[in-house]
């Protein structure tokens, strides 16, 4: 039988695994060995007729190089290996049991099995669709077990699963964080040398197994946790938030073929944006949108002063309706977001960097007395904009088409686009090609204390407060 000669940390994890286990660990401490042991044990313990188990890597070549030799050696020592097929990476055990080693890049091989176990080696490098659309359904018939073993790669889909392991309402999920410094496997001399030669970020991710929140995300500073730990404003805090001097606006991304998304935003006197409602629809014309959005507006005590859209929407028309007509029907002024740069590339980067800066908590002298901790300048009210929260958590900057739009998988990221328009509009500056309503602009600049760039000290481009010290 298989001998389990484990390190202390491996024994601890082994004894506390649940049906779905997320094991995030530093490099070179024995993650893969534990994964192979678990797969073989679950296969041998299974009472299912001819059970199947998978161990997966990102590519077929990695499955062959990283898993094949180790698995064969373990099974031969335990006298469990009856036959092997190195081309198909197939290992046959007694009782018709089969352990398959898979590379998820071989799409044709990821079909047709019913599994009692699935182990994903370096799971953070896998495509999330391999788990959600392929492996997870294969575990359903036999209530199969899954282990996600990995060194983190930013806050991607593995980070999401790790959070499930922290949720007491999800008893089938567990998670373990294993710092290679504390595993007792790598010597202190080696750790010291790596600290000296690796960047702090690389060391934190590869050795300490930290989820670095900036890797690849459109807005890595956004935290989908309640304030003061994140950018979600609890509902009771929103109810009690001082709104007397705030300005209320809407922003919209109108999708002819994709989603139409509208956000309701409160802008307080220090320039903080609080998103307090969201509307999402697909395939509706402007007449239908008008009825839906009017119903939304009627539920809010304060009507929006204006609606921000991308300027290209001014020329869009559905039947006899335009977005200008829609805004008029809602009693709101239509405004095109300010194009700060001539190219859409530059405007995309500008709005992204501005949103990122707004997601970081700041100490602001004029914050309401109820603000016990520094608050970010961008917040979302609890439960009120789920599409936006989902996109900000998952959208990878690599999926930008660099024309002012993002895509997440095959879907455009409409909620982020809507917010980008609002961000560009609230950062006041010199407009290009649109006549101003000087009285209205003066009122907004006075309320938000926005200063035009180019003279005097440097001011924060959202609130107008001097930059430097606590506010810088």
Between 35 and 129, name the one with better pLDDT. Answer: 35
Which domain does 321 fall in, by range? 232-471
Asked if pLDDT for residue 434 goes beyond 80, the answer is no
pLDDT digits (tens, 9 = 90+) for 310-350: 766 666 665 566 677 777 766 667 666 554 444 555 677 78
How many structural domains comprise the chain?
2
- Whether residue 214 lies inside any domain: the answer is no
Choose among 141, 110, 119, 115: nearest CA to 13: 119
Q: What is the pLDDT, as a whole number, of residue 269?
A: 86
- Specify the pLDDT at position 364: 64
Instruction: Give CA–CA dist 260/224, Å, rounded.
Output: 23
pLDDT exceeds cutoff 50 at 139:
yes
Q: Examine the fold and report which residue of 206, 221, 252 is the final residue of a domain before the chain moves on.
A: 206
CB-side neighbour CA atoms (13 Å) of 315: 2
Indicate whether 48 and 180 sit together in one domain.
Answer: yes
The pLDDT value recorded for residue 3 is 78
Q: pLDDT value at position 468?
A: 39
**Res 74: pLDDT:** 94
Predicted local confidence at residue 96, as pLDDT: 96
Is 167 found in the same domain as 312? no
Cα–chain center distance at 113:
30
Residue 427: the pLDDT is 63
Neighbours of 48 (CB within 10 A): 16
The pLDDT of 232-241, averaged and rounded, is 93
The pLDDT tens digits of the residues spanning 187-216 come to 999 999 999 998 887 888 899 998 876 556
- Split at pLDDT 50, 70, 90, the class of 411 is low
Residue 220 lies in a domain: no
One domain, residues 315 and 268: yes
% helix, strand, coil for the chain, step of 5: 35, 20, 40
Taking only the tens place, the pLDDT of each residue in 31-83 is: 999 999 999 999 999 999 999 999 999 999 999 999 999 999 999 999 999 99
Q: How confident is the model at residue 185 (pLDDT cuts 50, 70, 90)?
A: very high
| φ/ψ (deg, to 5) at 70 | -60, -45
What is the arithmetic mean of pLDDT over 99-104? 94
Q: What is the mean pLDDT of the chain?
A: 80
187, 58: one domain: yes
Domain finish residue from 188, 206, 224:
206
Look up the CATH number of the domain holding residue 190: 3.40.50.300
Do the domain assignments include residue 47? yes
Identify whether residues 239 and 285 lie together within a single domain: yes
Does 444 reside within a domain? yes
Whether residue 148 is contained in a domain is answered as yes
Residue 421 belongs to some domain of the structure: yes
pLDDT recorded at residue 400 = 54
Q: Are 351 and 358 in contact (CB under 8 A)?
A: no
Contact status, residue 96 vs residue 89, Cβ threshold 8 Å: no
Percent of the residues in the chain that have a pLDDT greater than 90, as a whole number? 45
- Residue 93 makes CB contacts below 8 A (sequence gap 6+) with 40, 43, 44, 75, 80, 81, 82, 99
pLDDT of residue 391: 87
Q: Which of 196-210, 219-233, 299-313, 356-370 has the lowest average pLDDT?
A: 356-370
- Provide mean pLDDT across the span 15-40: 96
Give the percent of the chain with pLDDT over 70: 76
Residue with tokens 């739009």: 405
Same-domain pairing of 197 and 250:
no
Q: What is the pLDDT of residue 459?
A: 37
Q: Are residues 192 and 57 in the same domain?
A: yes
Residues 47 and 169 placed together within one structural domain of the fold: yes
pLDDT, average across residues 151-175: 90
Same domain, 330 and 263: yes
Q: Is residue 438 part of a domain?
A: yes
Instruction: For residue 101, give the 3-state DSSP assignment.
Output: strand
Same domain, 150 and 262: no
* Average pLDDT value for residue range 436-443: 38
Looking at per-residue pLDDT, the higher value among 437 and 297 belongs to 297
256-284 pLDDT, tens digit per residue, is: 667 889 999 999 888 899 999 999 988 77
292 and 374 housed in the same domain? yes
Alpha helices in 16-48 (DSSP H): 31-45
pLDDT band for 88, please (50, 70, 90 cuts).
very high
pTM of the model: 0.56
Residue 226 lies in a domain: no
Q: Say if residue 46 is in the same domain as residue 84.
A: yes
């Amino acid at each position: 039988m298989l001998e389990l000669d484990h390190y202390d940390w491996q024994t601890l994890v082994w004894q506390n695994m649940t049906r779905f286990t997320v094991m995030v660990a530093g490099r070179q401490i024995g993650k893969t060995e534990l994964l192979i042991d678990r797969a073989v044990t679950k296969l041998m313990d299974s009472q299912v007729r001819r059970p199947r188990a998978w161990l997966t890597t990102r590519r077929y070549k990695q499955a062959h190089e990283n898993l094949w030799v180790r698995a064969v050696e373990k099974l031969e020592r335990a006298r469990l290996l009856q036959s092997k097929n190195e081309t198909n990476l197939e290992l046959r055990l007694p009782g018709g049991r089969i352990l398959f080693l898979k590379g998820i890049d071989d799409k044709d091989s990821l079909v047709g099995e019913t599994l009692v176990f699935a182990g994903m080696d370096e799971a953070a490098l896998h495509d999330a669709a391999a788990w959600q659309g392929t492996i997870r359904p294969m575990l359903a018939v036999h209530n199969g077990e899954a282990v996600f073993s990995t060194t983190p790669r930013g806050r991607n889909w593995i980070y999401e699963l790790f959070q499930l392991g922290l949720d007491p309402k999800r008893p089938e999920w567990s998670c373990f964080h294993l710092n290679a410094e504390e595993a007792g496997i790598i010597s202190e001399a080696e750790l010291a040398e790596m600290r000296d030669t690796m960047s702090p970020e690389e060391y934190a991710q590869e050795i300490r197994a930290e989820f670095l929140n900036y890797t690849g995300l459109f807005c890595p500073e956004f935290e989908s946790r309640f304030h003061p730990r994140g950018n979600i404003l609890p509902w009771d805090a929103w109810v009690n938030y001082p709104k007397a001097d705030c300005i209320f606006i809407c922003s919209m991304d109108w999708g002819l073929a994709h989603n139409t998304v509208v956000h309701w935003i409160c802008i307080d006197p220090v320039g903080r944006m609080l998103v307090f409602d969201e509307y999402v629809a697909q395939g509706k014309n402007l007449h239908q949108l008008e009825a839906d959005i009017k119903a939304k507006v009627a539920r809010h005590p304060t009507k929006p002063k204006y609606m921000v859209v991308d300027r290209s929407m001014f020329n869009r028309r559905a039947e006899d309706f335009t977005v200008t007509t829609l805004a008029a029907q809602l009693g709101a002024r239509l405004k095109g977001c300010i194009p700060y740069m001539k190219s859409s590339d530059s405007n995309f980067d500008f709005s992204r960097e501005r949103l990122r800066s707004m997601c970081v908590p700041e100490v602001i002298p004029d914050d309401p007395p109820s603000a016990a901790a520094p608050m970010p300048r961008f917040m979302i009210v609890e439960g009120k904009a789920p599409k936006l929260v989902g996109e900000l958590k998952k959208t990878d900057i690599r999926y930008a088409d660099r024309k002012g739009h993002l895509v997440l998988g095959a879907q455009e990221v409409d909620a982020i686009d809507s917010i980008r328009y609002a961000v560009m509009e609230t950062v006041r500056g010199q407009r290009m090609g649109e006549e101003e309503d000087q009285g209205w602009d003066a009122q907004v600049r006075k309320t938000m204390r926005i200063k035009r760039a180019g003279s005097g000290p440097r001011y924060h481009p959202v609130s107008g407060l001097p930059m430097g010290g606590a506010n810088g």
